[in-house]
Chain A
């Protein structure tokens, strides 16, 4: 009954470092996505995927990279961290179909870039 699992929960990076945020879901959801949450700005879509091998950009993709080699995993890579990427990152997944039942979110990764 894990749902969407994100690791790590907290991370501090120095400017210019790279890292990967992990996301895994065990619900066999086709759709997976990454959001960032900043105060007063709601949730903004970074990248999304509708199945293994298929990814696309969201609203704020610059500085981030994704791949999806399996249905279960959707890692988010920060190529060269910048202070502007300090945020809380959420992974979300859902079924694809005629009726949308909403996303299931992970518990988030709080990233600080110094």
Chain B
């Protein structure tokens, strides 16, 4: 079936560093989403992207919808301890409300 690949699988960074992670697919999506999951909680939507090339920010987070529509990137600037968690990308196919595919996640640890 369809799959999303996320990299890196996990990251350990110093507080204040910038973070980059990405998501790739063999399929074309018309919507990309990035979620964050805190321990013991459900995922929370960070950013939604709707157009190839789109660059969207949410505070210190910036995400981009890849030109090929098969990839997306998330950057976090000046990381802080509360950025710790698992970051999931998700892609949605056009006109298929049931076809949202989630990546396996990137686990982020921030060292104070």
Contact A48 B105 (CB under 8 A): no
| Contact-residue size bin, chain B (C-beta under 8 Å from the other chain) | 20 to 34
Which of A36-44, A65-73, A78-86 is found at the contact surface with chain B?
A36-44
B42: chain A residues within 8 A (beta carbon): 4, 90, 92, 105-108
Q: Which residues of B contact A41 (CB under 8 A)?
A: 104
- In the bound complex, do residue B105 and residue A101 qualify as a contact, i.e. CB atoms below 8 Å apart? no
Size band of the interface chain A makes with B: 20 to 34
- CB neighbours (8 Å) of B104 from chain A are 40-42
The answer to whether A102 touches B41, judged by C-beta atoms less than 8 angstroms apart, is no
Contact B100 A103 (CB under 8 A): yes
- Any A CB within 8 A of the CB of B1: yes
Mark out the residues of chain A between 3 and 44 whose CB falls within 8 Å of any chain B CB in the assembled complex: 4, 31, 33, 35, 40-44
Q: Does A42 contact B41, Cβ atoms closer than 8 Å?
A: no
| B65 interface hit (Cβ, 8 Å) | no
Residues of A within 8 A of B (CB): 4, 31, 33, 35, 40-45, 48, 50, 56, 58-59, 90, 92, 96, 99-108
28 contacts between A and B (CB under 8 A): A31-B97, A33-B98, A35-B102, A41-B104, A42-B102, A42-B104, A42-B105, A43-B43, A44-B102, A50-B97, A56-B98, A58-B98, A92-B42, A100-B97, A100-B100, A101-B45, A102-B33, A102-B35, A102-B45, A102-B48, A103-B100, A104-B45, A105-B42, A105-B43, A106-B42, A107-B41, A107-B42, A108-B40
Interface residue ranges, B against A (CB under 8 Å): 1, 4, 31, 33, 35, 40-45, 48, 50, 88, 90, 92, 97-98, 100, 102-105
